[in-house]
């Protein structure tokens, strides 16, 4: 297996992975900050590097609807979106998962309106947690590239759609040096898609999108819910195959000293990189601190996420989203993870970066030092204007 170093933004890295996959259908509609994904892919198409049928739709709802039809017909079909585009697709999200279609959809995370904002937070994908899609959150361009390839294999193994989430602008537009794998190795890893059913197989006709009344609706939906129970084993299997193919293991999460630390910071996506610098700094001063960065967020594997938290006495959950009238989703899942522990750790919920507001390493350090020393935090919101 050969690798090549390339300078790519996160959006370009996803497009490069999709070029190597060469799906039969890519339905597109532009929206900031996802547009670099479809722009890059359209360029590959214009240069004859892929033979994908590109469908330029009039809206995000149409884009996902076109992909649903293409996937139901037995093809590999993808789209991409962000923010209000994802919300515009909302009606179709549960259709894709309910029909058990292995669609891959990169999401460049961006704040939702109102007010209008084009910068990063996670309120878009977090609003879709219960729509039956798997979700993975990527730290950088390399992980975005890897998880696009990995996500396709995982989706096709469990017949569930997947969102590959990257931080808008922070990851989608910033250029990084990453290793891409050779086309032959990628083709071998993803294999040929042989769907269990498709609308064009007249020898084995199926009905798609039929009316289901109370006598059978519940059983049909339960089959989709049960499919999430198969994700864990298939994730591990796909990870083993990824390691054989590319020499890299894909884990459920990144454990950066978390499993050996008394104070654990939990954060998603690109903020993990800045946080690790502070973890390193505090550990040099003898502090027992670590980082847990979830990658697979839906399904949330409570038994797996408990493992790196066994020694934690204090947990700090930082999130780029809020839970109006409740608590943010990652905090709630971490609470459920530790709920049956005899000596439950102290746990803090903090919100940062809404609408793309910067979080600085000094902010992260101050939060960690305050929690370590037992000081009361001034606010749940980091960087809020009082």
Q: Which domains does the chain have, with CATH numbers?
A: 3-246 (3.40.50.970), 253-373 (3.40.50.920)
As a whole number of angstroms, the distance between CA 182 and CA 314 comes to 44
> Once rounded to an integer, what is the mean pLDDT over residues 363-370?
98
Look at residues 172, 150, 173 and name the one whose alpha carbon lies nearest to residue 162: 150
pLDDT band of residue 349 (cuts 50, 70, 90) is very high
Q: Pairing state of beta strands 162-167 and 104-109?
A: parallel
What pLDDT does residue 245 have? 97
Task: List pLDDT tens digits, range 74-87.
Answer: 999 999 999 999 99
> Once rounded to an integer, what is the mean pLDDT over residues 229-247?
98
Look at residues 29, 86, 21 and name the one whose alpha carbon lies nearest to residue 54: 29
Q: Pairing state of beta strands 263-266 and 175-181?
A: unpaired
pLDDT band of residue 378 (cuts 50, 70, 90) is confident
What pLDDT does residue 168 have? 98
Mutual angle of helices 231-246 and 141-158, in 10-degree steps: 130
pTM above 0.85, yes or no: yes
> Once rounded to an integer, what is the mean pLDDT over residues 229-254?
98
Query: What is the overall mean pLDDT for the chain?
Result: 97
Q: How would you write the chain as a 3-class SS string?
A: CCEEEEEEEHHHHHHHHHHHHCCCEEEECCCCCCHHHHHHHHHHHHCCCCCCEEEECCCHHHHHHHHHHHHHCCCCEECCECHHHHHHCHHHHHHHHHCCCCCEEEEEECCCCCCCCCCCCCHHHHCCCCCCCEEEECCCHHHHHHHHHHHHHHHHHHCCCEEEEEECCCCCCCEEEEEEECHHHHHHHHCCCCCCCCCCCCCCCCCCCCCCCCCCHHHHHHHHHHHHHHHHHHHHHHHHHHHHHHCCCCCCEEEEEHHHCCEEEECCCCHHHHHHHHHHHHHHCCCCEEEEEECEEECCCHHHHHHHHCCCCEEEEEECCCCCCCCCHHHHHHHHHHCCCCCCCEEEEEECCHHHCCCCHHHHHHHHHHHHHCCCCCCCECCCCC
Phi/psi-derived region of residue 182, left when phi > 0, alpha when psi is between -120 and 50, beta in every other case:
beta
Task: List pLDDT tens digits, range 269-327.
Answer: 999 999 999 999 999 999 999 999 999 999 999 999 999 999 999 999 999 999 999 99
């Amino acid at each position: 297996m050969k690798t090549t170093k390339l300078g790519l933004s996160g959006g370009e890295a996803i497009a490069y992975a999709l070029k190597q996959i060469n799906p039969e259908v890519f339905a597109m509609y532009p929206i900031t900050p996802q547009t670099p994904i479809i722009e890059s892919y359209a360029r590959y198409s214009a240069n004859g590097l892929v033979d994908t049928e590109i469908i330029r739709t009039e809206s995000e709802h149409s884009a996902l609807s076109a992909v649903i039809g293409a996937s139901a017909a037995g093809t590999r079909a993808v789209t991409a979106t962000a923010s209000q585009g994802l919300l515009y697709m909302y009606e179709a999200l549960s259709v894709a998962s309910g029909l058990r279609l292995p669609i891959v959809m990169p999401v460049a995370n961006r704040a939702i309106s109102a007010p209008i904002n084009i910068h990063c937070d996670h309120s878009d994908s977090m609003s879709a947690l219960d729509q039956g899609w798997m979700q993975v959150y990527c730290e950088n361009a390399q992980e975005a590239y890897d998880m696009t390839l990995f996500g396709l294999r995982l989706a096709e193994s469990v017949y569930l759609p997947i969102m590959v989430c990257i931080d808008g602008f922070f990851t989608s537009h910033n250029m990084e040096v990453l290793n891409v794998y050779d086309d032959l190795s990628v083709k071998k890893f993803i294999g040929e898609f042989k769907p269990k059913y498709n609308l064009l197989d007249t020898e084995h006709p199926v009905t798609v999108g039929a009316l289901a009344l109370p006598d059978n609706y519940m059983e049909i939906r339960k089959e989709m819910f049960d499919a999430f129970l198969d994700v864990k084993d298939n994730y591990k299997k796909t990870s083993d195959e990824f390691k054989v193919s590319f020499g890299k293991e894909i884990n459920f999460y990144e454990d950066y000293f978390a499993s050996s630390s008394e104070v654990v910071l939990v954060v998603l996506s690109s903020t993990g990189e800045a946080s690790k610098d502070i973890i390193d700094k505090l550990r040099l001063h003898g502090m027992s601190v670590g980082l847990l960065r979830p990658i697979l967020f839906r399904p949330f594997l409570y038994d797996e996420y408990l493992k790196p938290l066994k020694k934690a006495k204090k947990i700090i959950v930082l999130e780029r989203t809020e839970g109006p009238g409740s608590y943010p989703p990652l905090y709630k899942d971490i609470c459920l993870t530790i709920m049956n522990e005899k000596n439950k750790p102290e746990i803090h919920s903090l919100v940062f970066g809404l609408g793309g507001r910067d979080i600085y390493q000094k902010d992260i350090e101050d939060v960690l030092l305050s929690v370590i020393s037992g000081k009361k935090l001034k606010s749940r919101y980091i960087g809020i204007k009082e």
